[in-house]
Amino acid sequence: MDNLHCEIDAIRQRLGQKLLILGHHYQREEIVAHTDMQGDSFQLSAAAAQNTNCETIIFCGVHFMAETADILANSPENLARRNGQRVDVLLPDLDAGCSMAEMATRQDVENCWNSLTTLFDAEEIVPVTYVNSTAELKAFCGQHGGLACTSTNARAVLSKALQKNSQKQRVLFFPDQHLGRNTALKMGIPESQMSLWNSIEPEFGGNSSEQIQNSRIILWNGYCCVHQKFVSGHIDEIRKLFPKIRVIVHPECRRDVVEKADESGSTAFILKQIAESPAGSQWAVGTESRFVERLARQNPDKTIVNLAFQPSYCETMGLIELPKLAAMLLSAESGLKRNIIRVDDSIAPDALRCLLRMLQAGS
C-alpha cells in the first residue's frame, strides 16, 4: 500500500494543475487523503462548475456525481474559456452507482408526468430531481421548467419551485421521498398535502385523482437503503445511554427519525455543526458510517458515535479503492484515459439547464 501512496503522490505532482481529484465525504480514508477537495454533493458540483484549468477530473464518488461533474465542467461557457478543450471525468469503478438514483427511470417518470398532466396544466407542476438521479432525469427536468436540488439546498429549491406562479403550483419530487417529505414538512406543508407515487400502480401511482389534486408535493417512492437503517428506537436507546447527547441525522432518513433528532441536514451541515460544537460535546450521527468514523477522528475532544449500533456503510461509495485510483492516475498520465463518464450530447444541454437553475437557487 505504501508503494501505491508514493506512486499516486508522484503522478499527482507530475500532472499538477491538469488534474483535479474530487472526493465525497463517504469515501474511504485512504482515498480522501489523495483528494484535492472533499465535500458533499453540492460543494463538489459547484467545484466542477467553477473549474476552468484542469484537463481531467477523477471523481471519487458514485456515477450520478461524475455525470453531474461532466455536465457542469463541460458547459458551453467553460468550454469557451478553454478554447473548446473538454475536461474528461473519470470514475475509478464503473459499478459505483447509487441504488436510489436507479429507483426512478426516465420512462416511469414520463408515464407519471403524462398521468399528472391529465389532471393539471404542465405549467402548474414543477419537476424537481434530487441530484441523486440519472442525467436523463435531469434533462427531463430541464425540458419541463424544473430543477435539481441537493440535500444542502432542497428547501431553497422547493421554495423557488412553489413560488413560480401562483398558489396552484405543485411539485413532483423524485427519487427520494424522504428528502422531499422532510423538507416540505420543515416548510410547513402538512403531509395531508403530499402524496406518494408508486410507479408500479396502474392508476395515479396508487392514489385517487382527488388525492393528487389536493397535493402540493407528489413524492416518488424512492429511498436510500443506507439511511433507512436508522429507526427512531435508536434515538431512544442512545438517549438512555447518554442523556446529554445531541442527535443529528441526514434528511434521507425517515420522517420519525428526523423529527425525533435534535438537528438534520446535509453531510456538510453535519460536519459544520459538529466542528463548531464545544469540546466535550456528545453526538450521535445518523448517516453513512465511514463519514461518521472520520468525524470521530477529526474531533478527538468530542464523543461521536453512530446512531445505530450496527454501522451503515454505502457499499458503492466503498468500491473506490486505492489500486483503482492509482489505475485512473496512470491512465490520465498515459493519455489513454479509461472509465470516462460522458453524458450524451442529446441530453447534456437540458440536464445543464436543470443544474444551473439549482446552482442559481443557492444553498
**Which of 100, 219 has the CB closer to ligand SF4?**
100
Q: Which of 8, 34, 35, 40 binds ligand 13P (CB under 6 A)?
A: 40
The residue with its CB nearest to ligand 13P is 40
Query: Which of ligand SF4, ligand 13P, none does residue 317 bind to, with CB < 5 to 8 Å depending on kind?
Result: ligand SF4
Q: Which of 150, 195, 264, 339 binds ligand 13P (CB under 6 A)?
A: 150
Cβ 65 to ligand 13P shortest distance, Å: 8
**Which of 331, 363 has the CB closer to ligand 13P?**
363
Residues 68-97 that bind ligand 13P (CB under 6 A): none
**Per-residue contact string for residues 180-219; x = within reach of ligand 13P by CB under 6 A:** ----------------------------------------
Q: Taking CB under 6 A as the rule, does residue 151 contact ligand 13P?
A: yes
Q: Which of 51, 56, 132, 221 binds ligand 13P (CB under 6 A)?
A: 132
Residues 247-276 that bind ligand 13P (CB under 6 A): 252, 266-267
Cβ 117 to ligand 13P shortest distance, Å: 30
Query: Which of ligand 13P, ligand SF4, none does residue 99 bind to, with CB < 5 to 8 Å depending on kind?
Result: ligand SF4
Residues in contact with ligand 13P, counted by CB under 6 A, come to a total of 9
* Three-state secondary structure of the chain: CHHHHHHHHHHHHHHHHHEEEEEECCCCHHHHCCCCEEECHHHHHHHHHHCCCCCEEEEECCHHHHHHHHHHHCCHHHHHHCCCCCCEEECCCCCCCCCCHHHCCHHHHHHHHHHHCCCCCHHHEEEEEECCCCHHHHHHHHHCCCEEECCCCHHHHHHHHHCCCCCCCEEEEECEHHHHHHHHHHCCCCHHHEEEECCCCCCHHHCCHHHHHCCCEEEECECCCCHHHCCHHHHHHHHHHCCCCEEEECCCCCHHHHHHCCEECCHHHHHHHHHCCCCCCEEEEECCHHHHHHHHHHCCCCEEEECCCCCCCCCCHHHCCHHHHHHHHHHHHHCCCCCECCCCCCCHHHHHHHHHHHHHHCC
Q: Where do contacts with ligand SF4 occur on this chain (CB under 6 A)?
A: 62, 98-100, 132, 224, 226, 288, 314, 316-317
Q: Taking CB under 6 A as the rule, does residue 48 contact ligand 13P?
A: no
Cα separation of 158 and 259, whole Å?
19
**Which of 315, 344 has the CB closer to ligand SF4?**
315
Q: Which residues bind ligand 13P (CB under 6 A)?
A: 40-41, 132, 150-151, 224, 252, 266-267
